[in-house]
Amino acid sequence: MKTFLLGTVAAIAIVGTATAADMRMPVKAPPPVIAPAFSWTGCYIGGYVGGAWAADDATTYAYDLVGVPYGGYSYKLDSSFIGGGTLGCNYQPVGSPFVLGLEGEIGYMSLEGTAYDPFLAPGLYSSSTKIGDWYAMITGRLGYSWDRAMVYVKGGVAFVDVESTFTTPFALAPAFSVSDTVATWTVGGGIEWAFDMNWSIKAEYMYIAIDEGHSVSQSGFTFLPVSRWDHDISGIHTAKVGLNYRFGGGAPLVARY
């Protein structure tokens, strides 16, 4: 009996000692959570609103029947609301702050202006110019990012619908008009901030260098001593704010602790 009691006490002592040793061992902390660094890589779709205004006044030059200048006069084009959509893709190399992109844009814009001819029976004849009702751009983009903030420049080609008209009081030929779609260059830049892994907002300025002239020639029976009217227009300034949704939402560049 004594032997059994002594054995039991010894076993309890050994178990207690092992348990105390286990309790004194340090507990290893779990590994830190790895957060992905933000990346601008991915394709996106977005919308925007803003305004547009002409860089300079429109000008009409009249020429007589033998082509001698008859007179020139200028008039302002009204500013315009603009709004539309964008579709594009970005690529940001791993570990680089630079972002390369390609973007398409299409939207509404309508700048108009009208003035009476001050030389040919003032108050009866008028010239008008209209830019719109639509425009489009295809541009490349180069950005520099600080994580979720990016500044960028962009440039490419723009397409703008332009119409020029000379109106007369004669019923047989009340108006001479010409309209076409102008392809020209555009350049600008902006700033964009991603407030979410998928969503970003931007503010952007673009210049559209129209620099286009239209010759409107008379037709019909009008008795006018003028053969044609040249309508000259200059560039357009645009400013907008927009919201983009990026598919895939900020794939990680590198692991960040």
Q: Got the DSSP string for 205-233?
A: EEEE---EEEEEE--SS---SEEEEEEEE
Domain assignment present for 5: no
Enclosing domain of residue 44: 35-256
> What is the per-residue pLDDT for 210?
84
**Cα separation of 216 and 220, whole Å?**
13
> What is the per-residue pLDDT for 134?
92
Domain assignment present for 19: no
Domain assignment present for 16: no
Domain assignment present for 202: yes
Give the mean pLDDT of 201-229: 72
Domain assignment present for 24: no
Which has the minimum average pLDDT: 89-98, 156-165, 182-191, 195-204?
156-165
Residue type, 188: G
Both tokens of 104, joined, read 């398409």
Is residue 206 predicted with pLDDT exceeding 60?
Answer: yes
Both tokens of 110, joined, read 């309508």
Domain assignment present for 30: no
Per-residue pLDDT tens digits for 154-176: 999 999 988 888 777 765 566 67
Number of structural domains the chain divides into: 1
**Cα separation of 19 and 242, whole Å?**
65
Domain assignment present for 29: no
Domain assignment present for 10: no
181 versus 194: the higher-pLDDT residue is 194
Dihedral sign (CA 60, 66, 69, 71): negative
Sheet architecture: strand order including 212-217: 69-75, 58-64, 226-233, 212-217
The CATH number of the domain holding residue 200 is 2.40.160.20
List, in sequence order, every beta strand (DSSP E) within the chain: 35-36, 42-54, 58-64, 69-75, 80-91, 98-116, 126-146, 149-167, 175-194, 199-208, 212-217, 226-233, 236-246, 255-256
183 versus 31: the higher-pLDDT residue is 183
